Amino acid sequence: MKTRAVVAGLGTYVPEAILTNHDLEKIVDTSDEWIVTRTGIRERHIAREDETTSSMATEASRFALKDAQIEAEDLDFIVCATNTPDTIFPSTAARVQHQLTDKPIPGVDLQAGCTGLIYGMEMASALIQAGSYHNILVIGADKLTSITDYEDRTTAVLFGDAAGAFVLQRKEDTDHGVLSSYLQADGRGGNLLIQPGGGSLMPASKESVENRQHYLKMNGNETFRFAVKALPEAVEEGLKRAGLTVGDMNLLVPHQANLRIIDAAVRRFELDPERVVVNIDRYGNTSVATIPLALQEARMEGRLHDGDVVVLCAFGAGLSWGSNVIRWGK
């Protein structure tokens, strides 16, 4: 029994509008058949123009606060993982605080590709265990469609918009909560998944915009090869740090980037599909929001029980990868 960060609340937000594979057939040279067989995606949700990363994050946070039965004023820190902040500064975390309450709350944005949510959970858990914080809001929110090039069929079909939020809460003498985490980043693969324009390396210019440098670029094949190794490594290393093995895992919640990447992990660990959450068919890749979205669905379907060992696992730009091992329950 230890002092740990337990998941006191979970909330999600998905925009209403749906873009199906058939809709995409009218925009780029692709087919429903190609997208389904190569990725597992059938449709994705798309934010309205006036919906932003912070507005989606705020909606998800409201649900998470309600679930935790606390008020925004009870929060003492906000970590917002995102790759598509409303603006580079001010932070999306500060925007969410402002949309939730007039009370100032410290907060930061965290950018670690699609692994950002996993990093956020570990950082919040460590702050809580260090003793200075009680309730931390960990958000994963991205409006990836704002940086998706709808003239590039190799990426246009993959992404959707969404947000998710956890309330992590300090609890003493518990065996529930975040048991361990495994975090990794290796910049040698940085160019495989990159938004080249708009930063200090390539400030926005007429040329950079004309050359479509502000859109996400991905080397799909190389990223795929990296992901099929990174996912099982993160699962095994996270569990090892908690003194557990794959056999102890009740539920795996993997990043939803490609069904074939998830299937490779299922085969490698010889997992019963009942122990793996998959919802990529209806949302596509929503970056840092995939894990809260998938976890929430599993909860709604009654697949999460008190005491279950749940492994959250992601990979993405950086390159980055990692996992959180959580014993479910408050």
Task: By CB under 6 A, name the binding residues for ligand ACO.
Answer: 30, 34-35, 38-39, 114, 153-154, 157, 193, 220-221, 223-224, 227, 257-258, 261, 285, 287, 316
Using CB atoms, what's the residue nearest to ligand ACO? 220
Q: Which is nearer to ligand ACO, 238 or 284 (CB)?
A: 284
Judged by DSSP in three states, 157 sits in coil
Question: Smallest distance, Å, CB 154 to ligand ACO?
Answer: 4
CB 165 within 8 A of CB 293: no
Residue 218: closest CA among 122, 113, 321, 301 = 113
Of 21, 45, 80, 114, the active-site residue reads: 114
* 220 versus 329: smaller Cβ distance to ligand ACO: 220
Q: E-strand spans in 175-205?
A: 177-185, 193-194
Q: How far is the CB of 165 from ligand ACO (least distance, A)?
A: 19
Contact of 63 with 167, CB cutoff 8 Å = no
Cα 15 to the center of its chain, rounded Å: 16
255 is catalytic: yes
CB-nearer residue toward ligand ACO: 11 or 116: 116
DSSP secondary structure string, 245-256? -GGG-SEEEE--
Q: Using the structure block, give the residue that is written with the tokens 């993405």.
A: 316
The nearest distance, CB 174 to ligand ACO, in angstroms, is 32
- By three-state DSSP, how is residue 264 classified? helix
Nearer to ligand ACO, 80 or 157 (CB): 157
- In angstroms, give the least distance from the CB of 259 to ligand ACO: 9
Closest to ligand ACO by CB, 29 or 49 = 29
Catalytic residue flag (residue 45) = no
Are 276 and 303 a contacting pair, CB within 8 Å? no
Distance CA 186, CA 318 (A): 6
Closest CA to 178 of 131, 241, 107: 241
Smallest separation (angstroms) from ligand ACO to the CB of 284: 10
Which one of the listed residues 83, 135, 176, 255 is annotated catalytic? 255
Check if 114 is active-site.
Answer: yes
- Active-site position among 135, 279, 285, 324: 285
Enzyme catalytic residues: 114, 255, 285
